[in-house]
């Protein structure tokens, strides 16, 4: 029995995908996990909400001139999560590694951002982490927890031997401890103000320069990178974020050819009437269509 069969359960199919695992290029896995949520819990409901939205928005992209139907996608279902954070991360690592070793790209629908700690462990070669996020997530601990949505990037920096660089885009919320750690570790930060005051092309070019000759890319997208006006249903909303238009334009100009895994996290469906779910589904469409 494979780890996918052991730890993943069938649910709604993202975008109505009907491709078999063996034939697919992209494998959807939901991660309904929000055990460390500290402000607005509910991201455990996001995988289903985003799948529902994906079935009810159009799949054609005017940026890539292609449709999501052109891609070979298999929805494996939802990870069977544990109440213990470390066990959930272990299961996700095993499932993600199995997908990558099968020559496919995992697309993980969270759930809270903590899940990234587990999934990046599945990458067995040097890689760069590109994270769209309002927060730096570089605290050493938060609410007496070492493994949480507020410590995820720090834990990855400390424990992942294959990590080459971290690039955080859209940041606008941090504490002094995080700023000091970012400087010490050489974490690249492109704050939301730089994007709002400048041009999308300049910001995208900067990201591409930082990615440089990376052998592999892990893309992690926390939905709170968007301003609450565009994505109100997130766990920890922060003012002065970028717009959906700016985010999707940046994605369309970033080189995703080396993408080996992608996650989208921190959406909390109970806090709006479906708008944020539709945005999240659209983001997934655009990322996958940009990679091709």
Supply the CATH number for residue 201's domain. Answer: 3.40.800.10
Q: Determine the pLDDT at residue 99.
A: 98
Report CA torsion sign: 112, 68, 171, 226: negative
* pLDDT tens column, 155-208: 999 989 999 999 999 999 999 999 999 999 999 999 999 999 999 999 999 999
Is residue 161 classed exposed, middle or buried when 0-12, 13-18 and 19+ CB atoms within 10 A define those classes? Answer: exposed
Residues contacting 226, CB < 8 A, separation 6+: 234, 241, 242, 243, 244, 247, 279
Q: Determine the pLDDT at residue 194.
A: 97
Q: Determine the pLDDT at residue 143.
A: 83
Q: Determine the pLDDT at residue 19.
A: 95
* pLDDT tens column, 45-76: 999 999 999 999 999 999 999 999 999 999 99
Say if CB 231 and CB 199 are below 8 A apart.
Answer: no
Q: Determine the pLDDT at residue 57.
A: 97
Q: How far is CA 17 from the centre of its chain?
A: 20
- 174: domain range? 3-291
**Percentage of the chain lying above the pLDDT 90 cut:** 92
Tokens 């309002």 map to which residue? 134
Give, rounded to a whole angstrom, the gap between the first and last alpha carbons of the chain. Answer: 31
Query: What does DSSP say about strands 66-67 and 60-61: parallel, antiparallel, or unpaired?
Result: antiparallel
Torsions phi, psi for 153 (to 5 deg): -70, -35
Q: What is the average per-residue pLDDT within 9-33?
A: 94
What's the total number of domains in the chain? 1
In the three-class reduction of DSSP (H, G, I as helix; E, B as strand; rest coil), residue 200 is classed as helix
Is residue 20 classed exposed, middle or buried when 0-12, 13-18 and 19+ CB atoms within 10 A define those classes? Answer: exposed
In the three-class reduction of DSSP (H, G, I as helix; E, B as strand; rest coil), residue 234 is classed as strand
pLDDT band for position 38 (50/70/90)? confident
Q: Determine the pLDDT at residue 165.
A: 97
Q: Determine the pLDDT at residue 154.
A: 97
* pLDDT exceeds cutoff 90 at 243: yes
Say if CB 224 and CB 134 are below 8 A apart.
Answer: yes
Q: What is the average per-residue pLDDT within 75-90?
A: 96
Residue 95: C-alpha distances to residues 33, 128, 132, 231, 269 (Å)? 15, 20, 23, 29, 25
In the three-class reduction of DSSP (H, G, I as helix; E, B as strand; rest coil), residue 85 is classed as helix
């Amino acid at each position: 029995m494979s780890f996918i069969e052991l730890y993943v359960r069938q649910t709604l199919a993202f975008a109505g995908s009907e491709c078999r695992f063996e034939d697919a290029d992209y494998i959807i896995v939901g991660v309904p996990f929000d055990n460390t949520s500290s402000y607005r819990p509910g991201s455990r409901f996001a995988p289903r909400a985003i799948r529902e939205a994906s079935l009810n928005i159009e799949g054609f992209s005017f940026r890539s001139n292609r449709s999501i139907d052109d891609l070979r996608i298999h929805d494996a279902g939802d990870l069977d999560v544990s109440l213990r954070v470390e066990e959930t991360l272990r299961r996700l690592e095993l499932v993600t590694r199995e997908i990558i070793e099968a020559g496919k790209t995992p697309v993980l629908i969270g759930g809270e951002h903590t899940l990234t700690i587990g999934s990046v462990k599945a990458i067995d070669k040097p890689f760069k982490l590109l994270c769209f996020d309002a927060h730096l997530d570089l605290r050493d601990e938060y609410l007496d927890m070492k493994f949480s949505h507020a410590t995820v990037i720090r834990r990855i920096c400390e424990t992942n031997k294959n990590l080459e660089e971290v690039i955080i885009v859209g940041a606008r919320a941090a504490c002094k401890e995080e700023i000091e750690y970012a400087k010490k570790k050489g974490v690249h930060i492109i704050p939301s103000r730089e994007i709002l005051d400048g041009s999308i092309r300049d910001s995208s070019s900067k990201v591409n320069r930082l990615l440089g000759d990376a052998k592999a890319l892990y893309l992690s997208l926390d939905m709170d990178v968007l301003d609450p006006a565009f994505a109100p249903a997130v766990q920890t909303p922060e003012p002065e974020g970028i717009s959906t238009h700016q985010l999707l334009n940046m994605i369309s100009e970033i080189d995703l050819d080396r993408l080996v895994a992608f996650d989208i996290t921190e959406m909390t469906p109970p806090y709006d009437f479906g708008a944020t779910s539709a945005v999240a589904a659209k983001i997934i469409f655009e990322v996958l269509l940009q990679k091709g």
